[in-house]
Amino acid sequence: MPKKAVKKVLFVSHKANMSGAPLLLLDIVREFKKQSAVPFQVLMMEDGNLANEFRLLGETLIWQKNSQHISVVEQSLLKKLKYRVNTITRGAEILFRLRGTSLIFFNTISNGHILKKLLFLKAKHICYVHELEAAIHMTTNKESLQAVLQNTNLFIACSQAVKNNLSERHAVPEKNIRVLPAPLATVYRNKKDYTAFVQVFKDGNAIPAGAIVVGVVGGDEWRKGYDLFLPLISLYTNLYPASNVFFVWKGCNHRSFNSFFNLYDVEKFSQPNCLLLPHGNDSIDTMASFDIHLLISREDPYPLVVLEAASFGIPTVSFCGAGGSTEFIETDAGISVPYGNLLSMVAALQMLITKTEVRNRMGKCAQEKLQVKHARKIAMPAFVSTIEQFNSPEKSIHEISGGHLPVLSNLM
């Protein structure tokens, strides 16, 4: 009898940096290895800091290695040709090593460019979507997106907002989408454990004693609402000049193209109660110094920073209609204000700043809610079981979902 082919899972990550989607995928792969006997591989579309973490878990292939990047202008024609040949050769070798893959788990909807390369595997596709419309528009094109929509068997949405966007804007049947809460390894942090760091942080940055710290953690980009940050501070300071409040933005890229314009605004607004810090491995430690977490994003599908703030017992203030943050905040773990309304956001901040008991109650509620909804032992089994069941050749998609997903014969 011919030997039965081994069915294996391929996890595909678009990046290997310290951002939300790759970190969540790392956690999923780590737990999948613990709970499942199914063999797997990992394909990273770009090299990065997390690549070695994935290698510790299993075979990890890198499509675009940083060391192989060359400048089109600076290198000779011969070197360019050699680079091109090496890239094609490595790509062919990677695709050869992926034979036997029966299920592919993508961690972004912006995967059309690689999905098309992997269609020869005849595998089932699961796409974990953590993008809303602006991010989709910014990270993919119509052709690539169509490839994903036509060839994905199941979409896992990180929030109801993401599910609604897929259904309403991209005609994905609701029955083809599951909303699964993000599994987190750490759902409780004690601020007292960070006392030494916080003291050094506040002293080193001249944050006044007793000041209420309002903090943001995120990139200084349009989606994150960076351009709204300084106007918000200016508005708050004008309305409440006597308040002892300090604003921190952690995650600025001072070497980006926009850094000149960002720093130009800082100089012109001239806000002494404001601190702009670069991204770093100390983001969690920095968050420990916050009293209130500010999410000023225009669009965030289900931001991990809200959950990380909740792990400290810190409430969040955010915009309604800007993504999935309100699904966690609701009415008891922070405050959501009308989209783009800085005056309402200032009022919400002032309420939490002046009413310590409300701030503490909402922070405690956020921490408790996080442990109920997002603890790894609670949220992770749904991911692992979905992957294992979808990898089962004996069951159709309809059977796996308990009758909630139609069999998509044209996508199988």
Tell me the β-bridge partners of 214. 247, 292
Residue type present at position 364: K
- DSSP-derived 3-state class of residue 250: strand
Domains of the chain: 8-183+376-400 (3.40.50.2000), 191-373 (3.40.50.2000)
Cα separation, 346 vs 352, in Å, equals: 10
Give residue-wise pLDDT tens across range 171-228: 999 999 999 998 888 899 999 999 999 999 999 999 999 999 999 999 999 999 999 9
For residue 217, the cross-strand partners are 250
Q: For residues 232, 233, 237 and 242, what is the CA-based torsion angle, rounded to 10 degrees?
A: 130
Q: Which of 367, 246, 369 is nearest to 312 (CA)?
A: 367
**Inter-residue contact 292 to 314 (CB < 8 Å):** yes
* pLDDT attached to residue 312: 97
235: burial class by Cβ within 10 Å (0-12, 13-18, 19+)? middle
DSSP 8-state secondary structure symbol assigned to residue 258: T
Q: How far apart are CA 49 and CA 18, in angstroms?
A: 7
Cβ-proximal residues to 349 (8 Å cutoff; 6+ apart), any chain? 214, 236, 245, 292, 294, 317
Q: What is the pLDDT along the chain (412 residues), one digit of tens a residue?
A: 444 556 899 999 988 887 778 888 998 999 999 988 899 999 998 888 889 999 999 999 998 765 444 454 555 777 777 767 777 777 788 888 899 899 999 999 999 988 999 999 999 999 999 999 999 999 999 999 999 999 999 999 999 999 999 999 999 999 999 999 988 888 999 999 999 999 999 999 999 999 999 999 999 999 999 999 999 999 999 999 999 999 999 998 877 777 777 777 777 777 889 999 998 889 999 999 999 999 999 999 998 899 999 999 999 999 999 999 999 999 999 999 999 999 999 999 999 999 999 999 999 999 999 999 999 888 999 999 999 888 876 554 444 443 333 333 222 2
- What is the rounded distance in angstroms from the CA atom of residue 292 to the CA atom of residue 396? 47
d(CA 390, CA 400): 7
Listed in sequence order, the DSSP H helices in 301-408 are: 304-311, 325-329, 342-354, 356-373, 376-390, 397-400
**The residue to which tokens 């709970």 are assigned:** 35
